[in-house]
Amino acid sequence: MNTTNSEQPRDFIRDIINNDLQTNKYGGQVHTRFPPEPNGYLHIGHAKAICLNFGIAADYNGLCNLRFDDTNPIKEEQEYIDSIIDDIRWLGFDWENRLYYASDYFEQMYEYAVQLIKAGKAYVDELSADEIRDYRGTLTHPGRHSPYRNRSIEENLDLFGHMRAGEFPDGSRVLRAKIDMASRNLNMRDPVMYRILHSEHPRTGDKWCIYPMYDWAHGLEDSIEGITHSICTLEFEDHRPLYDWFLDELGIYHPHQIEFARLNLTYTVMSKRMLLELVQKGQVSGWDDPRMPTISGLRRRGYTPESIRNFSRRIGVAKTGSTIGIALLEHCLRQDLNKQAQRVMGVLRPLRVVIDNYPEDQVEELDAVNNPEYPGAGTRKVPFSRVLYIERDDFREDPPKNFFRLAPGREVRLRYAYFITCVDVSKDEQSGEVVELHCTYDPATRGGDSPYGRKVKATLHWVSAKYALEAEVRLYNQLFIKEDPTNVEDGADFKAYLNPNSLEILASCRVEPSLANATPGSRYQFERQGYFCVDPDSSAGKIVFNRTVPLRDTWAKIEKHEDK
RNA sequence: UGGGGAAUAGUCUAGUGGUAGGACAGCGGAUUCUGGAUCCGUCAGGGUAGGUUCGAAUCCUACUUCCCCAGCCA
């Protein structure tokens, strides 16, 4: 089965587009947009929408705009704009010269509002926010008309002008569409179009003190840009009648809004509000903490853009509310990293091993292959010497059944090196902890092959004690212990389900010397352990690695089963 | 009690009146100088009840369950 590319995705949105193309609804054009609000960092859920919108444009030889929906200066910041641009670029998408801002259209939107007032379809209301809520009615009861609903067009025009001129305080007045206070769709009960906000805007500064609401602004933005298919998430489904109403009343170009289900992932949260809270309360180190589902967090963790794009393609697009298992994301990651990542040896929890019959001062430079999936990656030299470190987990004094690794009297292979046999175990007298192993090696097995065809059941990774580099390794686990942390028991908060063991720092790991010049962001497979990525926290004296994802571990599974 | 949506294996997803297919997860085996990768096999599915039809996941009717909506947020 082809799991990586080429087959055209098929989904209900592309079905709609195919149909529109056949009927020539938009003159054969396909033009989408990704419209983030710059009030936080992008996360993997946004990546789904980005891949969808840019992907559709690419599939149909169309265009996709990047447009910041910057209509609420209270929550929006330049930092977020910058991070969003970086993240989408990193994901591999290009909007060419089509970077737009809703705020670019404020003047045009104002004129459209005047047009609606002149048509008797909008009015300035002086009810307070509380009163408006009260007048709106409820889900089951209709609302009531505001006493200001029937002002003259002239008065509305005049008042709206004074709103723009900054003559009224925040909250004192709003411009509302005059639709239907009895509509069964609450969005149609005279929705607010403009509110007064004397707030500095990241782009327009203090030019404006009235700002358009989403429902009013969004369709106009799409219309102005000539968008054909305006793709958004399910919760906007019952806003569509309003989207359509504004464009129809104005009589301007009318894109088609299509809604799809947003992405949910197990063991994490996908709401900007919750992610912001984790950042602000210091539960994580920042928006780019490698445990965060943000694009910047995944990047720092070591995810590749390819793996995220592939994931987005494989989860599909539908209207069914769904939650994808994190295992699928990790599968896509491993699939990519397995092909890309150079192999190295690194020992996370070192156990000292002395090869008794190996000459004291001898060093051998042994050949190790860089990537068995891609022979073109070549080989490198790894130094072997009398004292080594192996993984503590690779030795058991009293091995359980099915444990193939090192144990007293047992022979194993050191990868690319020699067969060794454990002849003695030194322990700490107080604690009984194993502190050192004594082994012998078979010189005839140099390079790791037995000339006699002698078999060994395990191959271990190792480093030379003398030549290894010291490194810090950060092991990450799921941020939450609950599959759906937002599904809280009453009184509880999603933070109650934070995993106390989501980060484990190993301060004195040993890695092979070829890693001396590894640069931040570079990714490796530590053989038999997982994929790791150099963190920007690394310094000249100490490399810091993030564990991106462990390798699949059949042994761990067997061990777990036998525990039961 | 109103309106808008959605229901296919443990989790996603295809199929658009004609043998329910794929992926992830699981399980078993082969192979392996990574208990990785690879390969092979296997488990398991149309919310319920009726109806139309030679034939229904698909069409019709009724019901059930879940999600969203009462911001001057998006």
How many residues are there in chain A?
Answer: 564
Nucleotide nearest to A128 (CA to C1'): B72
- CATH number (domain holding residue A330): 2.40.240.10
Is residue A1 in some structural domain? no
**CA separation for the pair A487, A7 (Å, rounded):** 36
Q: Residue A316 is part of which domain span?
A: 272-342+471-563
pLDDT at residue A5 tops 50:
no
Structural element, H or E, at residue A435: strand A434-441
**CA separation for the pair A504, A290 (Å, rounded):** 12
pLDDT at residue A20 tops 50:
yes
Domain match, A25 and A132 both: yes
pLDDT 10s digits, A444-489:
999 999 888 899 999 999 999 999 999 999 999 999 999 999 998 8
Domain match, A154 and A245 both: yes
Using CB atoms within 10 Å of the CB of residue A73, give its burial: 0 to 12 exposed, 13 to 18 middle, 19+ buried.
Answer: buried
Evaluate if the CB of A171 falls below 7 Å from strand B. Answer: yes
pLDDT at residue A1 tops 80:
no
Amino acid at A395: F
Please name the residue whose C-alpha is nearest to the C1' of nucleotide B8. Answer: A320
Domain match, A495 and A442 both: no
Q: Which two tokens stand for residue A461?
A: 């990774």
Structural element, H or E, at residue A299: helix A295-301
Evaluate if the CB of A564 falls below 7 Å from strand B. Answer: no
Strand B-proximal residues of A, range 48-77, CB below 7 A, are: 69, 71-72, 75
Domain match, A421 and A558 both: no
Q: What is the mean pLDDT of residues A494-521?
A: 97
pLDDT 10s digits, A349-367:
999 999 999 999 999 999 9
pLDDT band at A7 (very low <50, low <70, confident <90, very high): low
Query: Is A37 an annotated catalytic residue?
Result: yes
Domain match, A110 and A224 both: yes
Provide the pLDDT for residue A166: 98
**CA separation for the pair A512, A477 (Å, rounded):** 25
Number of CB atoms found within 10 A of residue A163's CB: 20
Evaluate if the CB of A262 falls below 7 Å from strand B. Answer: no
Query: Is A262 an annotated catalytic residue?
Result: yes
Evaluate if the CB of A558 falls below 7 Å from strand B. Answer: yes
Evaluate if the CB of A326 falls below 7 Å from strand B. Answer: no
Confirm if A513 and A383 have CB atoms less than 8 A apart: yes
Nearest to A56 by CA among A4, A26, A17: A17
C1’ B61 / CA A330, Å: 45
Angle at A416 between CA A411 and CA A422, to 5 degrees: 20
Percent of chain A scored above 70 by pLDDT? 98
Nearest to A349 by CA among A509, A469, A471, A526: A509
Give the largest Cα separation in chain A, rounded: 102
Evaluate if the CB of A147 falls below 7 Å from strand B. Answer: no
Q: What is the mean pLDDT of residues A297-326?
A: 97
Structural element, H or E, at residue A411: strand A411-414
Q: Pick the catalytic residue from A189, A272, A299, A313.
A: A272
Q: Which nucleotides of B are covered by protein (CB under 7 A)?
A: 1-8, 10-16, 22-27, 33-38, 66-74
Is residue A53 in some structural domain? yes
Provide the pLDDT for residue A4: 32
Percent of chain A scored above 90 by pLDDT? 95
Residue that finishes a domain, picked among A262, A282, A312: A262
Is residue A4 in some structural domain? no
Nucleotide nearest to A455 (CA to C1'): B33
ipTM surpassing 0.95: yes
Q: What is the mean pLDDT of residues A300-311?
A: 98
Q: Pick the catalytic residue from A25, A37, A364, A446.
A: A37
Evaluate if the CB of A374 falls below 7 Å from strand B. Answer: no
Is residue A5 in some structural domain? no
Residue that finishes a domain, picked among A460, A487, A521: A460
Q: What does A220-280 look like in DSSP terms, one character per residue? A: HHHHHHT-SEEEEEGGGGGGHHHHHHHHHHHT----EEEEEPPP-BTTS---HHHHHHHHH
Domain match, A170 and A217 both: yes
pLDDT band at A564 (very low <50, low <70, confident <90, very high): low
Nucleotide nearest to A554 (CA to C1'): B35
pLDDT 10s digits, A122-176:
999 999 999 999 999 999 999 999 999 999 999 999 999 999 999 999 999 999 9
Strand B-proximal residues of A, range 332-371, CB below 7 A, are: 334-335, 338, 343
Domain match, A194 and A297 both: no
Query: Is A48 an annotated catalytic residue?
Result: no
- The mean pLDDT of chain A is 96
Is residue A466 in some structural domain? no
β-strand A530-534 against A523-526: which pairing, if any? antiparallel
Q: A530 forms bridges with which residues in the sheet?
A: A526, A550
Evaluate if the CB of A503 falls below 7 Å from strand B. Answer: no
**Per-residue three-class SS string for A398-464:** CCCCCCCCECCCCEEEECCCCEEEEEEEEECCCCCCEEEEEEEECHHHHHHCCCCCCCCCCEECEEE
Strand B-proximal residues of A, range 376-405, CB below 7 A, are: 402-405
Provide the pLDDT for residue A6: 42
Nucleotide nearest to A216 (CA to C1'): B74
Is residue A71 in some structural domain? yes
**CA separation for the pair A94, A99 (Å, rounded):** 10
Domain match, A176 and A200 both: yes
Number of CB atoms found within 10 A of residue A47's CB: 24
Evaluate if the CB of A181 falls below 7 Å from strand B. Answer: no
Domain match, A359 and A450 both: yes
List C-alpha distances in Å: A206 to A68, A110, A201, A500: 18, 16, 6, 45
Q: What is the mean pLDDT of residues A384-388?
A: 98
Evaluate if the CB of A14 falls below 7 Å from strand B. Answer: no
Number of domains in chain A: 3
Q: Pick the catalytic residue from A98, A149, A203, A262.
A: A262
Q: What does A118-134 look like in DSSP terms, one character per residue? A: HTT-EEEE---HHHHHH
Nucleotide nearest to A11 (CA to C1'): B14
Domain match, A371 and A250 both: no
pLDDT 10s digits, A64-116:
999 999 999 999 999 999 999 999 999 999 999 999 999 999 999 999 999 99
**CA separation for the pair A553, A551 (Å, rounded):** 6
Domain match, A379 and A508 both: no
C1’ B44 / CA A48, Å: 29
**Residue A150 — φ and ψ, nearest 5°?**
-110, 35
Residue that finishes a domain, picked among A410, A438, A460: A460
Nucleotide nearest to A415 (CA to C1'): B33
C1’ B5 / CA A351, Å: 58
Give the CA radius of gyration of chain A.
Answer: 31
Nearest to A392 by CA among A350, A353, A437: A350
Is residue A6 in some structural domain? no
pLDDT at residue A387 tops 90:
yes
Domain match, A328 and A367 both: no
Nucleotide nearest to A173 (CA to C1'): B72
